[in-house]
Every structure is written in C-alpha cells, then in structure tokens.
Structure 1
C-alpha cells in the first residue's frame, strides 16, 4: 500500500544499479541529510532487488506513515542514550549472519555540513565489514531535501519529486584485512568510505566534494542521534 502512494510523489533515477549485489550479505552505506533518508533508500533498495534492513533512529518510528513503514518492514530502532550504538552494531551483525543486506549510515546522524556534503564518519560500517569479511558498498542520493529538508518536520510530495540514487563499487578494504581492528585502522578505513560516498554525492551534484570532511567537534556542534559507533 505504501509503495504505490510513495511512487505517486517520488520518482527515482538510478545510476549504476547493476552494482547492487543480488545475493549474500553486505553493508550498504549511504549519505545522510534528511530524516526521511531511511525510507528513500529503503524503497530504492527494494526497487534494486534487495529487501532493506537498516538501523533507524527510534524517533523516526513516531512519524506518521514513515513509522508504519519502518515497523512493517522489520527495521531496527536505535535509541540515542546509553550503549545503543553498540547494541545497534550487534543487531546489524545478526542480519549479516543471515546473509542479508544491512544499511548503515556511517555519519551516524544528519550531516552538519552547511552544504549537505557528507561529514566525518564513524566506524560501525567498516567494523562490520572487516569483522565479518563482507563487502561494504558506498551509495549516495540527492533530491531528498526536496521531499523533507534537513531538520524539517513535514514532507512534501507534490509536485512529484525526483531523487537520484547512485550505487558505488565495493570499497577496497584489502589494505586493512588481517590487521588488528584498532581505532587507527578503523578510522583510516572509515575515511576511505567517506571519501567514496562524497565522490558519489559529487557525481550526482556535478560538483567536486570538499577536500576535507566536516567535523562537528571542530565547529562546536554536538552530535546526536547516532546510528553506529
């Protein structure tokens, strides 16, 4: 019921859809700049042949329509406080063990970059990939801000919006395989992932991404709503 209604308001343009694996476990890591991103990428994944499973902030489950979709499609609510980030990683790993795809937003929350470029990432996505020996695939979307701008509380479907989605090549993690998964290794691999995501966003926007990722801690901003650790 939701998908036909969603399709009335959102048109997808897919770039390199052939890069989406059709079998086996992997981590899909997109950029994140709107509260409605999980639905945008969830529907996109369904169109590309994979049933989406992802970590979503618990607050999203309270949004009309969006919350219903998240609950019905078996997504994982993540609370903000306490050890939720570690619990979320464990839940994602359980999905991986079942050979499923899991969407993990490496930024952990909506980007703070003023121009909506990907910001500094957290290590959860690459940690899962390296620990489990599965691919991590960067992805990006652009146009979602026309449906629901960053920090907005309402959605707009009409006139119909167009969202571009691009799937990247699997991230080359060969330089990190067999190494101790210490913080230095995980941060280096995460930096590679964020560079790959930013390059995909730049391809969709037809602009070069910033040479350096936005770091909220350097701009006096508090990071909230983490989706990984």
Structure 2
C-alpha cells in the first residue's frame, strides 16, 4: 500500500469523525488524465482536507519549511505532506513562482491531478481575492481541464490559520466541486495576458459561486500588506 493510500485509510475516517466534512460534487473530478483543482484558501488545514476528500491523489506546491522540521511535530508534518502529494518549493520571489509553475506543468504532463490556490496565499479576512494568472498558464500549456472547488467553514475550525483545529458544535466544513472548465479553445495563447486574465477570472467566478464569498478585485498579498 502506498503512503497516500495508508494516510487516507487511517486519517480519512478520523477526519470525518472530527471535522464531519460535507463533500459535494467530488464525482465531477475526471477519473483519469491531467486535472487542475483550483479553489479558495481560507486556512492551513485546507491543504490537509483536500487530499483526504478526493479519490485521486492531489499533488500541490507547499512551502519547503513544511518538510524541514526536526521536532516531532515537524517530522509528522513532513511525513503527512510528502505522503499526500505536497511538492516542496522555496518561495523566493519570482524564481519560486517559475519553479512552482514548471512543477505543476510536469505533474499535469504525467497525467496527474494538480491542486492550486489561485489567490496565492490565504485570505486575510474570509473574502475571495483576485486570482493570479499562473492557473491560466497551466491550463493553456497543458490542455488540462480545471475543476473549481470551494472550501467552506475551515477558517471557523482553525481561525487565523494557526494552532490546533478546534471542531465545535454547529461548526461544519464543506468542500464543493464544480463542473470541469475546458479552455482548449485558447490553445497556443498562454502568452496573451488578456486571455490569461479572462481565463483566471472565469475560474475565480466559479469559485465565488461555489463558496458564496464576497469577491475583492485586488491581490490578497496587497490586502495583507495594507
């Protein structure tokens, strides 16, 4: 049994008991071939919940610090994230962004599932922020369909993205998946910034519809800096 299957078999039932996630539309994820999962990002545990509610293994980019910890907690995090499909990348400005894009392309060209948060970082206030166009470039370079998804309520379980998740009566989380979006009509236009923005905005519009979040047309990093 692979480590991914082992984690799903052991932690999946525990997740369902503790967090009681409601999963909607998971069957919309194609059963084979390259797929991009694109969604909102509310808190740290989003990246723990997503791999455990999908049948296919989801590969995604994460901070390399998640797999470098030497403490017991750090080693446990490294075991979990490397097992579920996290690919560590150093986030050093533009170079880190290029590395993440090329890593995503490689995963998709291998016919796998790649998960991405187009906002680029966690929402600072629960609203949905402008998506970065890396999601569009990946879709146009690889021809992979994009399945939008929405995390709902994870920030109530883990406010601020830190500390131990604290399930409470009346607080349930949900993960909603939308219909696959096909952007093959834009083949060969992955350098056109207007096309990239249009594709990204279409994806974010679907994420907004699924999540019910208020949309803010600025980047989340700018909101955090302000």
Shared fold per TM-score greater than 0.5: yes
User: Relative to total residues, which structure has the larger helix share, 1 or 2?
Assistant: 2
Number of the residue aligned with 2:7: none
1:51 Cα deviation after fit: 1.3
Distance 1:16 1:178 in 2: 30
TM, length-normalised to structure 2 = 0.81
TM, length-normalised to structure 1 = 0.80
Pairing 1:85–2:97 present: yes
Unaligned runs of 5+ in 1: 203-208, 223-229
4+ runs of 1 displaced by more than 6 Å?
Answer: none
1:85 Cα deviation after fit: 1.3
Compared with structure 1, are the counterparts of its residues 108 and 172 closer, same or farther at alpha carbon in structure 2 (3 Å cutoff)? same
Q: Deviations over 1:155-179 (max 9, x none)?
A: 2246696321111112243563343
The within-5 A match list for 1:11-22 is 11-22=20-31
SS at match of 2:137: helix
Number of the residue aligned with 1:9: 18
1:37 Cα deviation after fit: 1.0
1:149 Cα deviation after fit: 1.6
Distance 1:171 1:177 in 2: 14
Pairing 1:58–2:97 present: no
SS at match of 2:135: helix
1:44 to 43, 53, 56: 53
Q: Deviations over 1:177-201 (max 9, x none)?
A: 3435222221221111111111110
Compared with structure 1, are the counterparts of its residues 188 and 156 closer, same or farther at alpha carbon in structure 2 (3 Å cutoff)? same
Compared with structure 1, are the counterparts of its residues 158 and 123 closer, same or farther at alpha carbon in structure 2 (3 Å cutoff)? same
Aligned length: 211
Number of the residue aligned with 1:221: 225
Distance 2:224 2:170 in 1: 37
1:73 Cα deviation after fit: 2.5
Indicate if the aligned counterparts of 2:137 and 2:190 stay in contact, CA closer than 8 A.
no
Q: Deviations over 1:50-98 (max 9, x none)?
A: 1111112234444654443102223111222141111111111111111
Unaligned runs of 5+ in 2: 1-9
Pairing 1:94–2:118 present: no
Number of the residue aligned with 1:24: 33
Pairing 1:127–2:137 present: yes
Number of the residue aligned with 2:82: 71
Distance 1:180 1:79 in 2: 25
User: RMSD over aligned Cα, in angstroms?
Assistant: 2.5
SS at match of 1:194: helix
SS at match of 1:29: strand
